[in-house]
Amino acid sequence: MSKRKLGLGKVRAKKQKLDLEEKKDNGATGNAEKPGDGEGGEGGSNTNEELLTVELANEVNPDDPLSQLCGLWKTWKDGERNNELILNGIINECDRILRNTVENGGTEAVTLNDHFYSIYGQAMCDLSKFKPDVEVKAWIDNSLERIDEGCDRYGADNIRLMFARSYILLNRIAIQYIAQMNVDSKKEEFPGLKKAFDEFIDTWNAAVAESEKQKDSSLFREAWVLEILNIFDDLLDIVDKFGTQMSEVVDSDSDSDDDDDAGEAREPAAADALHTAEFEISEDHPLHAIQNDDAYNVFWRDSMLKFRDLMDADADADAKLRRSVHDKLGQSFLMQAEEPIAFYNSFQYDTDDTAHDADDATAHAAAAARAAAEDLVSHAVHHLRQTHDDHDPKTWVNLAEALITYGNLLDLDGPDQNAAYAEAERLLRRANNACHGRYQDILDSLVPQP
């Protein structure tokens, strides 16, 4: 089959490939020069030809530009996402499709849909990550405009476009705000941060509520929607640890100084405090309030649980996606249990018995911590059971480690503790055999040696 005019399709045997060419005289250039080039403008000004060949799945229809666009977008999402040229091609193909539709005076009988505008907006957002800082805001603003255009056509209650908007809003927080900060940043430099977080959360919640209202859970079987929550989780982790890496750099420099002055006595330096004390950003830092507000963690957990519920309502949900959701939930319950476990252990294994007798309040607090940890770890075990994959020993080990943690909280040598340890041992032995002894150390610590 000959190449479709101005298109991306190419059939070769059973494989289909996309040729994205950077040509000024071609409507589908590979170089999206600036935001706003979209409707009707030239896609690029680079006269040097560059060729990128991308393999598409066999089911992509070479005669359907929207099918090809979705296939190319999937290639980007499933890949390493490090090739700006792919995004340039996606955006310029969106420009070309929009310009050449019959309703816009073109000759192609293409029926646009919410997928088109979702891809258009998200691709522009992703491309902003490759742009200079001074251009980022314009790119993200234009990506939101594409979503607005889609909502004008398909309604503000379009679920796919609502989730696409939440994806862009979340990336705006990461790119326009957090990526521009350092440990000395001040609140007044980033006045819109909390509003940006609130807008993302409100948009996500509205999309979920609309899904329930319309009784449509189909989006909850698509990995890109789950990715939004994963990005938010990663963002919270960055906020929580913000500045820590910088303190570690200081420690490293201090260590190297020690090596240079080996054998010489020296006075303790200020940097030594960073070696033992946990780094904390100042109260007037823009991330301080976010870091100390547990509402964001609660939102993430509640959203993941809701995602699980709506995903489970769809019989067609992918098994890999299910495992991913339950693994995230299981690990989050384990992390939440770390603090009460540490408190309980510090009490349980404190050798100063008189201190315990003198402080009944501490004993009651330790008992409460144990109960809370037991409940949290039991939830973790429940979720990690759902991640079991016969072809992935790591899933067996994750469950085994959670069972060991759970057993440690139970009555010593009681039937429940013995059952938890026995199941953990079975899983570890199986994983150890499958992985040629990788988990022998964990087994040795669990099973008394003769």
Alpha-carbon span 199 to 208, nearest angstrom:
14
Query: CB within 8 A of 242, min separation 6: which ones?
Result: 178, 181, 183, 281, 287, 291
Q: What is the pLDDT of residue 352?
A: 56
Beta-carbon neighbour count of residue 264 at 10 Å?
7
DSSP state of 175: I
CA-based R_g, the chain, Å: 27
Q: What is the pLDDT of residue 222?
A: 94
Per-residue pLDDT tens listing for the chain (450 residues): 333 222 333 333 333 444 444 433 344 334 455 555 544 333 443 434 455 666 666 666 667 889 889 999 999 999 999 999 999 999 999 999 999 988 888 888 888 999 999 999 999 999 999 999 999 999 999 999 999 999 999 999 999 999 999 999 999 999 999 999 999 999 999 999 999 999 999 999 999 999 999 999 999 999 999 999 999 999 999 999 987 754 443 344 444 444 444 444 334 343 343 343 467 899 999 999 999 999 999 999 999 999 999 998 877 788 999 999 999 999 999 999 999 999 999 888 764 555 545 478 888 999 999 999 999 999 999 999 999 999 999 999 999 999 999 999 999 999 999 999 999 999 999 999 999 999 888 888 887 654
Spatial contact of 235 and 328, defined as CB atoms under 8 Å apart? no
Q: What is the pLDDT of residue 56?
A: 63
Alpha-carbon span 204 to 197, nearest angstrom:
11
Q: How far apart are the first and last CA of the chain?
A: 72
Q: Which residues is 52 bridged to in the sheet? A: 20
Altogether, the residues listed in the chain come to a count of 450
Q: Is the pTM of this model over 0.85?
A: no
Spatial contact of 101 and 108, defined as CB atoms under 8 Å apart? yes
Q: Report phi then psi at 199, rounded to 5.
A: -65, -40
Beta-carbon neighbour count of residue 348 at 10 Å?
13
Q: How far is CA 75 from the centre of its chain?
A: 18
**Which is it for strands 11-12 and 15-21: parallel, antiparallel or unpaired?**
antiparallel
Alpha-carbon span 99 to 441, nearest angstrom:
63
Strand order in the sheet with 11-12: 11-12, 15-21, 51-56
Q: What is the pLDDT of residue 50?
A: 57
Which parts of 30-107 are beta strand (E)?
51-56
**Which is it for strands 51-56 and 15-21: parallel, antiparallel or unpaired?**
antiparallel
Q: Which two tokens stand for residue 358?
A: 């003198």
For the chain, domain boundaries: 11-155, 181-253+273-317, 331-450
